[in-house]
């Protein structure tokens, strides 16, 4: 019976430590604290590709690069832009206290639109309800768990800040491995009025 309790405790500890989590190092020094009064400040038109990115420790990872996913791949989960990415933009609009919409455009022509549920957290960042958690096999015995989530905010320069957290963990009996990362991408604001 004691071994069963130890096994259950071990599984709980591993399961709680393997979820995707955000790093606050970037958001604290790079973002403006959004509140219910100023949440509309995030509305506007943004470039499609990030112009700078940071890792979990706040170190600059990239300048402009084609290796970084565009904003559509984070928000929608698939690429919707083809051809020259410089022709694409994304309009962001707060629909209500609990919803935010993203309109993807190619040369001002609407290509795709999505509305996501959101929650404004006390740290001034908007957590998007497009989390993804998938378990395969029997997690922690013969399988794994993959999770991802994201939040957005406004940088001090007025640009869009997108923070993406990813974690994938798998195991076969006592052998386990996994990967996780946490990146923040900045998307330049083109204009504030929609």
According to DSSP, residue 85 is labeled G
Tell me the per-residue pLDDT of 95-112, one tens digit each, with 9 for 90 and over. 999 999 999 898 889 988
Q: What is the rounded distance in angstroms from the CA atom of residue 144 to the CA atom of residue 171?
A: 6
Cα–Cα dist 123/171, whole Å: 34
DSSP-based three-state secondary structure for 139:
coil
Give the integer Cα–Cα distance in Å for 126 and 108. 26
pLDDT digits (tens, 9 = 90+) for 7-65: 554 554 444 444 555 555 555 667 889 999 999 999 999 988 888 877 655 555 555 55
- C-beta of residue 71 within 8 angstroms of C-beta of residue 193: no
For residues 61 and 20, give the distance between their C-alpha atoms in angstroms, rounded to a whole number. Answer: 19
Give CA torsion, residues 72, 74, 78, 80, to 10 deg: 0
Domain boundary assignment for the chain:
2-191
């Amino acid at each position: 019976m004691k071994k069963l309790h130890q096994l259950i405790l071990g599984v709980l500890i591993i399961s709680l430590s393997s979820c995707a989590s955000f790093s606050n190092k970037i958001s604290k020094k790079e973002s403006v604290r959004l509140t219910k009064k100023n949440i509309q400040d995030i509305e506007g038109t943004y470039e499609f590709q990030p112009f700078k990115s940071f890792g979990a420790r706040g170190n600059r990872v990239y300048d402009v690069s084609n290796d970084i996913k565009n904003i559509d791949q984070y928000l929608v989960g698939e690429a919707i832009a083809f051809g020259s990415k410089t022709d694409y933009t994304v309009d962001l609009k707060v629909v209500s206290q609990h919803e935010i919409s993203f309109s993807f455009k190619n040369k001002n022509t609407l290509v795709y639109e999505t509305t996501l549920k959101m929650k404004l957290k006390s740290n001034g960042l908007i957590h998007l309800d497009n989390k993804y958690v998938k378990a395969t096999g029997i997690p922690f015995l013969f399988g794994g768990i993959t999770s991802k989530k994201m939040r957005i905010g406004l940088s001090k320069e007025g640009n869009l800040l997108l923070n993406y957290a990813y974690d994938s963990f798998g195991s076969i009996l006592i052998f386990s491995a996994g990967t996780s990362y946490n990146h923040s991408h900045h998307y330049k604001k083109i204009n504030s009025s929609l």
